[in-house]
Amino acid sequence: AAQLPDFTQLVERVGPSVVNIRTVEKSRSASSNMPELDPNIEEFFRRFGIPIPGMPDSRRGPRGGEEPARRGVGSGFILSADGFVMTNAHVVEGADEVLVTLTDKREFKARIVGSDKRTDVAVVKIDAGELPFVKIGDVSKLRVGEWVLAIGSPFGLENTVTAGIVSAKQRDTGDYLPFIQTDVAINPGNSGGPLLNMRGEVVGINSQIYSRSGGFMGISFAIPIDEAMRVAEQLRTTGRVVRGRIGVQIGAVSKDVAEAIGLGTPRGALVQSVEKDGPGDKGGVDAGDIILKGDGKDVDKVGDLPRIIGGTKPGSRSVLQVYRRGATRDVTLTVGEFEVEQTARRPSGSGPSTPSTAAALGLTVSDLDEARRKELGVRGGVQVDAVEGPAARAGLRAGDVILSIGQHEVTDSKQFADLAARSAKERSVSVLVRRGDWTNYLVIRPGR
């Protein structure tokens, strides 16, 4: 039988590179009789977004005055001998003062070099030299089932070591980055500490846990170190992160929609709206397109596209492969710089005209006038005036605009009625629907 791993030498070697981080935040407009909370408990409330008991609006009271300092705790690790330290952005967020304590009990006041909320990565700097620093590992070589180790300060207990295995890689939790999932015990205070492989190399930053109780329940998540280092390099160089953007809002492609439009397996990112005059609009991306590739990289799920585009230098040319009405095509555009995403302007609605009934689908539709088409930024389409039966069950509503049916672009109500009649015997019919700023496929089942 294989022996269980011995972590002792690894901890002795890497432990001095791991630091404890305490933050101080001075708030104002609080009453003087507010009680002080234990820093570890306060970190717990801040990390999971739980209101602090007895302290509405983060201790802001009705009268002015200086409040006792709020304190937070976390972990970090030294990147270089001259004092650059990596941690989580949420550990240092809002801090007026950051204190870094080494394993030899030396304490330094740190300067925040840069922080990126989108990836939850931050870099701070302490004025010290000849410091022990970590070695960065190769995440691509990390295997599910491999032993990994965490060192940090859970609940302020410095240099605490916990171990487990890699449970999954590329775990998509809806955040900007895919995570490494482990069963290593992680608790408040571990945030920002390193996840290490058996060679003593950092492969991730411990960042999140899944919990119904607030405590560790066997599932924790770490930011892959390769992604974190890309962010850290920009923070160290410029103090901020520059990302690409194409000015579209996207959603997932469901199994029903993929089958109904002939895509087969659910993959790609569905374009739900396109920012007017944005990079995607200028490049020819349409609402309803499904983006399958970005610069040759597969978009297997919706979260892949922001990572691909975000890693593209603004101003560079990018080629997207899109699926549109039954065929794939390439769209070339110039990537913009990510600042604050804008959304398409919500249309203001206009009166219907020329009603037409597509009885088999349960729809009554009318033509869009030229002003409404211009307002929506569409070439054709029909407005839904009433729904019943199959259309109602599919989720269509009065006021929706139908842009396509099956693989056919809708031009007017008469053409739509002809297409609907031909689709009446189909098991399922896909329609591309515009609702406000939102564009999505819905699947109507006429026989049900």
Digit-coded pLDDT (tens) for 218-235: 889 999 999 999 999 999
What is the dihedral angle through the alpha carbons of 251, 302, 329, 313, rounded to the nearest 10 degrees?
110
Q: Which of 115, 167, 191, 273 is catalytic?
A: 191
Whether 408 is catalytic is: no
Evaluate the CA torsion angle 37, 115, 148, 160 in order and state its sign: negative
What is the pLDDT averaged over residues 133-159? 92
Here the tokens at position 176 are 């900007």
- Local confidence band at 61 (pLDDT 50, 70, 90 cut-offs): very low
Whether 120 is catalytic is: yes
Residue written as tokens 């920002």? 192
- Which residue, 302, 311, 383, 375, is CA-closest to 344? 375
Which residues make Cβ contacts (< 8 Å) with residue 220, sequence separation at least 6? Answer: 181, 182, 183, 184, 185, 186, 206, 208, 209, 210
- Local confidence band at 203 (pLDDT 50, 70, 90 cut-offs): very high
- Local confidence band at 242 (pLDDT 50, 70, 90 cut-offs): confident
Cα-based distances in Å from 218 to 185, 187, 191, 303, 359: 7, 11, 16, 25, 54
Q: Which of 17, 27, 75, 90 is catalytic?
A: 90
The predicted model scores a pTM of 0.66
Query: Model confidence over 93-106: pLDDT tens digits?
Result: 888 899 999 999 99
Residue 130 has pLDDT above 50, yes or no: yes
The reported pLDDT for the residue numbered 420 is 84
Q: Which of 116, 120, 286, 385 is catalytic?
A: 120
* CA atoms of 255 and 257, how far apart (whole Å): 6
- Which residue, 154, 210, 137, 211, is CA-closest to 179? 210
Whether 191 is catalytic is: yes
* CA atoms of 324 and 328, how far apart (whole Å): 6
- CB of 164 within 8 A of CB of 185? yes
